[in-house]
Each structure stands twice: as structure tokens, then as C-alpha cells.
């Protein structure tokens, strides 16, 4: 999963796309890759790295997504005005990969975290079959504000933390880093077989943190792993943190206060928040009440 609903789409950077399910593939106990196609993908322009998009998933009992409007001026009001039982669910996800096949077919991979029917996205993905169609808001220009991974000039290392919701974004970042880039990463997953094989040309050291059977506080477990790492390579690191909002903010404090990283070089994003629904986060975002992710914000 990818960015939170905290960022409303910028009209000039984004447009609507119809995505048809082409196939699915199980990656681990908790991960399912859905590959989408569709003629409209010819206009999709991913900026790579942690590029996000918003998916509209049909409510239970409907096979395809139907939106009352895709006009940039009134789509949101029209969508919000739909009856509760008919309104498609909006969720934010990361583009795992975009490509054009040798046959000239445009494809888009999105990795879903599966946790049964406890959430609408997991429920939909677990039942996705070829031919189902959903709608999405995605980038029409590659340089867009939903690519958050932006290392400043002069960075000499990349330090990363991601939980399972941000692992697809982290994997996409690793694939795009230049050869020789020094990377230190901590990835948190629910189960042992969720430790995916990740490819990167970078010089990366990855620590996997598995929660399976561990009753400890997840934030404290992450902080313990970060502190146990000792000195890290790099004098001017760029730090990218994404996952559960409370854990991400605690990790940010660790890097800024305990490792003396310039807060302007820390990109932190809460993809979700323990105890809050996506609908609540979305409402906060559009009401201007979302927590700040500005590097200069308070720790």
C-alpha cells in the first residue's frame, strides 16, 4: 500500500484511468500482485520510486467500478454524494511497476496486502479475477507530487524503514537506485514468508523484522532494531520512512534526535494509522486536519 489519503490529487498532474484486471499472482502469505491493463494506460506517466495513485474499488455485490463523474471540477462531490451502499471505496496504493510489453500492451502492477475480509481493499483483491474493471486517479505527468522519494543533492546514503503496507514502495525504490548507492533498510512484515526477494543494483543491507508470534509493542520493536544497528554508513544520509503513522513518527524522532540527521533530509509518510479507518483519514485530509508531513514539522 502506499501514500495516505492525506494528499488530495493535483488536477494538473492527475487524471482518471479505467483499469482491467489481467491476472493475479501470490507473492507471499500477505501479498498479492494484481496486474492491470487497459487502453487508458497509454496516458499513464509514473514517476517511479514511490509513485502513488488512488483506486476506486466497487462495493460488495458489484463486479466493476461505476463513478457518477470523472470531471476534475465535480468528481469528488459527485462521489461523496453517492448512497453509502453504492459508493466505490477509495484507497491509495503504490505503483509497483509500469511497463509496455513486447506486444505493445500497457501493464500496471499493484501489490496488495491481504488480511482477509477485514478491509475493503483486501476483500476486493482476494476476489479479483480477470476482466474486472476498477477506476483510478493516477499521474499524467511523470514529475508529480505523489512521488515522495526525493533525495537532496549531496546525499551519500539512503536509510529506509517500511512496514508491509509500504514494502511495495520500498521495493520499487530499491530497484531504481543507482549501482553502488549505500542503503540501510529495515522492513517489517507479519510472517516469515512475507520476506520477499528484493532486487537492487544498490549496495543494500536489509534487516527483516517479523511480527509473527511476537506480542511486543510494534513501535518499540522497530526502535529496538534501529538502535541495535550501531553506526551507519553515510555522512549526509537521506532517510525515507513509511508505514503506520505512529511508528513512522517514532522512527523519525530516532533518526533526528538520536542519530543527528538533518530533519530536512527525512521523508516520513503515514500510510495508515492504528485505530483509524481510511475513511477517517480521508475526511481529515479534505478537512485540512491531516497531520503534517513537512520535514520542518515538530517531532
CATH 3.40.50.80 residue window(s) in the chain: 157-286
Cα separation of 190 and 164, whole Å? 7
The model's confidence at residue 12, banded by pLDDT at 50, 70 and 90, is confident
pLDDT band at 1 (very low <50, low <70, confident <90, very high): very low
pLDDT value for 66: 94
Q: How confident is the model at residue 277 (pLDDT cuts 50, 70, 90)?
A: low
In whole angstroms, what is the distance from residue 294 CA to residue 267 CA? 8
Q: What is the pTM of this model?
A: 0.90
The CA radius of gyration of the chain, in Å to the nearest whole number, is 19
For residues 130-139, average pLDDT:
97
What's the CATH architecture for 14-139?
A: Beta Barrel (2.40)
What is the reported pLDDT for 276?
61
What does the pLDDT average to over 253-272? 96
Average pLDDT over residues 42-51: 96
Residues 6+ positions from 199 with CB-CB distance below 8 Å:
174, 175
Instruction: List the Cα angle 215/216/222 in 5-degree steps.
Output: 130
Q: Cβ–Cβ contacts within 10 Å for residue 2, how many?
A: 26
Mean pLDDT score of the chain: 90
**pLDDT tens for each residue of 76-114:** 999 999 999 999 999 999 999 999 999 999 999 999 999
Confidence of residue 71 (pLDDT cuts 50, 70, 90): very high
pLDDT of residue 16 exceeding 60, the answer is yes
Q: What is the 3-state secondary structure (H, E, C) of the chain?
A: CCCCCCCCCCCCCEEEEEEEEEEEEECCCCEEEEEEECHHHHHCCCCCCCCEEEEEECCCCCCCCCCCCCCCCCHHHHHHCCCCCCCCEEEEEECCEEEECCCCCEEEEEEEECECECCHHHHHHHCCCCCCEEEEEEECCCCCCCCCCCCCCCCCEEEEEECCCCHHHHHHHHHHCCCCCEEEEEEEECCHHHCCCCCCCCEEEEEEEECCCCCCCHHHHHHHHHHHCCCCCCCCEEEEEEEEHHHHHHHHHHHHHHCCCCHHHEEEEEEECCCCCHHHHHHHHHCCCCCCCCCCCCC
- Does the pLDDT value for residue 179 go beyond 60? yes
Spatial CB neighbours of 227, under 8 Å, sequence gap ≥ 6: 254, 258
Distance CA 180, CA 219 (A): 31
Residue 8: its pLDDT value, please?
41
Contact of 9 with 54, CB cutoff 8 Å = yes
> Percent of the chain, pLDDT > 70?
89
pLDDT at residue 5, rounded to an integer: 38
What is the reported pLDDT for 6? 38
CATH assignment of 157-286, given 3.40.50.970, 2.60.120.10, 3.40.718.10, 3.40.50.80?
3.40.50.80
**pLDDT band at residue 7 using 50, 70 and 90 as cut-offs:** very low
Query: Mean of the pLDDT values across residues 129-156?
Result: 96
Strand partners, 107: 99
Q: What is the pLDDT of residue 143?
A: 92
What is the pLDDT, as a whole number, of residue 290? 60
**Count of other CB atoms within 10 angstroms of residue 26:** 10
Residues of the chain with CATH 2.40.30.10: 14-139
Cell of 132: 474486472
pLDDT at 283: 63
Q: Are 88 and 59 within 8 A, CB to CB?
A: yes
Q: Taking 90 as the threshold, does the pLDDT of residue 29 lie above it?
A: yes
Asked whether the CA dihedral 11, 8, 121, 198 is positive or negative, the reply is positive
Amino acid at each position: 500500500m502506499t501514500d495516505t489519503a492525506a494528499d488530495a490529487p493535483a488536477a494538473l498532474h492527475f487524471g482518471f484511468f479505467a483499469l482491467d484486471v489481467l491476472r493475479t499472482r501470490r507473492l507471499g502469505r500477505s501479498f498479492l500482485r494484481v496486474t492491470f491493463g487497459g487502453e487508458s494506460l497509454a496516458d499513464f506517466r509514473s514517476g517511479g520510486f514511490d509513485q502513488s495513485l488512488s483506486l476506486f474499488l466497487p462495493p460488495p455485490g458489484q463486479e466493476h467500478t461505476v463513478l457518477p463523474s470523472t470531471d476534475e471540477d465535480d468528481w469528488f462531490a459527485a462521489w461523496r454524494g453517492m448512497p453509502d451502499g453504492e459508493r466505490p471505496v477509495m484507497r491509495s496504493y503504490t505503483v509497483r511497476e509500469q511497463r509496455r510489453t513486447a506486444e505493445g500492451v500497457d501493464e500496471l502492477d499493484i501489490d496488495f496486502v491481504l488480511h482477509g475480509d477485514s478491509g475493503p481493499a483486501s476483500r476486493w483483491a482476494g476476489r479479483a479475477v480477470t476482466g474486472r474493471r476498477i477506476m483510478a486517479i493516477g499521474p499524467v505527468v511523470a514529475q508529480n507530487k505523489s512521488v515522495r522519494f526525493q533525495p537532496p543533492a549531496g546525499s551519500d546514503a539512503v536509510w529506509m524503514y517500511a512496514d508491509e503496507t509500504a514494502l511495495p514502495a520500498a521495493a520499487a525504490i530499491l530497484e531504481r537506485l543507482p549501482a553502488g548507492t549505500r542503503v540501510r533498510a529495515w522492513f517489517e512484515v507479519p510472517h516469515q514468508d512475507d520476506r520477499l526477494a528484493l532486487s537492487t543494483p544498490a549496495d543494500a543491507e536489509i534487516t527483516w523484522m517479523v511480527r509473527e508470534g511476537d506480542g511486543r509493542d510494534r513501535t518499540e520493536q522497530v526502535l529496538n532494531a534501529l538502535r541495535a544497528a550501531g553506526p551507519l554508513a553515510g555522512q549526509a544520509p537521506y532517510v525515507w520512512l513509511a508505514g503506520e503513522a505512529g511508528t513512522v513518527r517514532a522512527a523519525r524522532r530516532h533518526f533526528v534526535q538520536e542519530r543527528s540527521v538533518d530533519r530536512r533530509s527525512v521523508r516520513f509518510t503515514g500510510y495508515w494509522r492504528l485505530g483509524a479507518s481510511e475513511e477517517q483519514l480521508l475526511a481529515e485530509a479534505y478537512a485540512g486536519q491531516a497531520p503534517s508531513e513537512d520535514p520542518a514539522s515538530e517531532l
